[in-house]
């Protein structure tokens, strides 16, 4: 399965609840297992790479990658910045997430997407996603906190 889901550099520190790109400090490093061999860039494979790929898609505004040949990559969640945390905008967020997931070839089926107002932070939506990755019988759950005040 790791071949199907790919291999990439680790760019996000929290694959469960990442809420920003932390621009300027993206790459993670690890100590090489051999003594005295120094550090290396950390890699993600399999399910962790899929989680990161989905989070990066949500954290990237559509059009940001156009100059690199990917004009439709990303999500429209950023259209909601500055809006109120109300049900109508929760419905828009759900549509934007479903659109982004529809463009991800490693997603076989979206089981559910729910969007709720965060109880502790009224400017934040919590987006809970259940999906089936390709060639897997086990569902994947992602919780994506999204701030309506912009990238944290």
What ranges do the domains of the chain cover?
A: 2-147
13-32 pLDDT, tens digit each: 666 555 554 544 566 666 66
Give the integer Cα–Cα distance in Å for 119 and 35: 47
Q: How many CA atoms lie within 13 A of 20 on its CB side?
A: 11
Dist CA 144 CA 94 (whole Å): 12
Whether residue 2 is predicted with pLDDT greater than 80 in this model: the reply is no
Which runs of E-coded beta strand occur in 1-152?
A: 7-9, 29-31, 39-41, 43-45, 107-117, 124-133, 140-147
Plot region of 49 (φ>0 → left; ψ -120 to 50 → alpha; else → beta): alpha
Mean pLDDT of the chain: 83
Q: Is the CATH number of domain 2-147 3.10.450.40? A: yes
- What's the pLDDT at 89? 98
Radius of gyration of the chain (CA): 16
Q: What is the pLDDT, as a whole number, of residue 76?
A: 96
> What gap in Å lies between CA 32 and CA 18, rounded to an integer?
26
How do residues 46-99 score in pLDDT, each as one tens digit? Answer: 888 888 889 889 989 999 989 999 999 999 999 999 999 999 999 999 999 999
């Amino acid at each position: 399965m790791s071949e199907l889901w790919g291999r990439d550099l680790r760019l996000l520190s929290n694959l469960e609840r990442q809420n920003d790109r932390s621009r300027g400090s993206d790459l993670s490093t690890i100590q090489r297992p051999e003594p005295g061999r120094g550090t290396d860039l950390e890699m993600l494979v399999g399910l962790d790479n899929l989680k990161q790929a989905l989070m990066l898609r949500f954290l990237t505004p559509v059009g940001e990658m156009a100059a690199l040949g990917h004009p439709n990559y990303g999500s429209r969640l950023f259209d909601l910045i500055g809006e109120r945390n109300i049900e109508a905008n929760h419905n828009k967020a759900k549509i934007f997430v479903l659109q982004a997931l529809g463009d991800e070839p490693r997603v076989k089926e979206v089981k559910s997407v729910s969007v709720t107002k965060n109880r502790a932070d009224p400017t934040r939506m919590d987006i809970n996603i259940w999906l089936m990755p390709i060639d897997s019988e086990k569902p994947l759950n992602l919780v994506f906190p999204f701030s309506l005040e912009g990238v944290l």
